[in-house]
Amino acid sequence: MPIKPGFLIIDMQKAFLDDPNASFVPSLPNACEYINYVADGFRFAQLPVLLIHDGESVQPDQAHYGFIDAIKQDPSDIVIHKQYGNAFRDTTLSETLQKLEINFLLFAGFKAEACVLATIHGAIDRDIPYAILKNGITSTTSDGATFIEKTFPLISYSVVDQLLLHR
């Protein structure tokens, strides 16, 4: 079966990241560039971009529930609402991936060592192959994303380009 990837962008919400300086998230500007670049490639290839929204800390009807302006969004993006760190827990994510026949996940987003990591473990528990977009995860600490990138499989945007090109 050929690989059909889905791109998960986790918790890049105003409630967590909308600070004029964003100095508390040192890798945010860089991560947004990588995320947008890869999301554009997925959309061009007509592959799903899934925007995961955290409702545990902020409610969907609140203005700061949405994604930060630095993350480009498209009407074709699929929004998944979650209440727990793991985006698979009590959500429609598993069913959505099955319906779309997604058999590989690419992870990006915030907070590397919390919700991104919890959702990676959700994928592992479901035997879904995955990788993390290099420089596409961020944290409130300088070493949070670095630790996750050193520990789990990574893929660079240039390799993603080639995979999307040769589908």
Query: Are the C-beta atoms of residues 12 and 110 closer than 8 Å to each other?
Result: yes
Q: Phi and psi (nearest 5°) for 136?
A: -105, 5
Domains in the chain, ordered, with CATH? 5-165 (3.40.50.850)
Q: What is the pLDDT of residue 22?
A: 56
Q: What is the pLDDT of residue 72?
A: 97
Query: pLDDT by residue (tens digit) across 86-141?
Result: 999 999 999 999 999 999 999 999 999 999 999 999 999 999 999 999 999 998 88
Q: What is the pLDDT of residue 167?
A: 77
Q: What is the pLDDT of residue 20?
A: 59
Query: pLDDT by residue (tens digit) across 8-42?
Result: 999 999 888 886 555 567 778 899 999 999 999 99
Query: pLDDT by residue (tens digit) across 34-85?
Result: 999 999 999 999 999 999 999 887 887 877 888 999 999 999 999 999 999 9
CA distance 98 to 8: 15
